[in-house]
Amino acid sequence: MRAVRYHEYGGVETLVVEQVPDPHPGPGEIRIRVAAAGVNPVDWKVRSGAVREVFPVDLPAIPGRDAVGVVDETGEGVRGVRIGDRVFGLGGVTGATAELAVLSAWAPAPTRWTDEEAAGAGLASVTAMGGLKALGPLRGRTLLVEGAAGGVGSAAVEIAVAQGATVIGTASERNHEFLTSLGAVPTTYGSGLAERLATLAPGGVDIVLDTAASGSLADLIAIVGDPARVSTIADHTNAQRLGVRLANAENDSTLLAEAGELGRRGRYTPRIERTYPIERIAEAHAYAERGHTRGKIVVRT
């Protein structure tokens, strides 16, 4: 099969498209013929070697953790999915940006989602849902999402709105119209946030989800008055120090199915900022590394 690989840790120049052996699913896994794969911050962090102590990989490695495609092979013990089914889901820390990918968690892809949208749903939805579930029931509560315009943040906004929360989202001003389209009340981040929130939410903010890891956790705790009412999916160091709930992305088929059901009902549509062909994978990674994305980046295979 054709796949993207890097043979050593480094910059985007290490990424090459080449022929590699086909992977095969193990017990409890499936293989899909990939239509599109997501590009996530973890991809370039792993590729650069920045997180090799946490996520060591065997080189050469294929970047990518989530993808959408049609099932073409199933492993031992797999039930509830058939050859030819269109699914989206997650594999290991690497392996998705290829013509064939092995998934360990998956769910049916809603027909209303394009391949690009479904490719951007896997990691973003389970990460957002993990962070939201750590905060308890959402209906009737006011939620602040710090970093609401990115891939995980935008997913969290739509999912929380669908579950009955009033959502305020922080982002740069250029993304405020985007947040409004998702159902959030937008505001800027940084200095003066507490004062802005006092105007936007006179009754107070109940809970906070941090997706930005911008160093604002102490301020976010002060806004709600209790570290147990704040969760983060990104700021591991400060979460432990301050007693904030930390949510890690998990390969959870149940969460993927919940996201897919919201998609089928038209309550969650993954937002795609840019799509690249596989031959331009270096550009996709370079754009992701610059940050400040509005939604997700995906690669067509």
- The residue-averaged pLDDT of 35-51 equals 95
DSSP state of 235: -
Bond from prior residue into 108 cis (ω within 30 degrees of 0):
no
Q: What is the pTM of this model?
A: 0.94
pLDDT recorded at residue 292: 67
DSSP state of 58: P
CB crowding 112-122: b at 16 or more within 10 Å, else e: ebbbbbbbbbb
pLDDT recorded at residue 140: 97
- The residue-averaged pLDDT of 149-173 equals 96
- The residue-averaged pLDDT of 267-289 equals 96
- pLDDT over 90 (residue 54): no
DSSP state of 84: T
pLDDT recorded at residue 215: 83
- pLDDT over 80 (residue 293): no
Confidence of residue 39 (pLDDT cuts 50, 70, 90): very high
Taking only the tens place, the pLDDT of each residue in 118-140 is 999 999 999 999 999 999 999 99
What is the spatial distance between Cα 227 and Cα 246, in angstroms, rounded to a whole number? Answer: 11
Taking only the tens place, the pLDDT of each residue in 249-268 is 889 999 999 999 999 999 99
- pLDDT over 70 (residue 27): yes
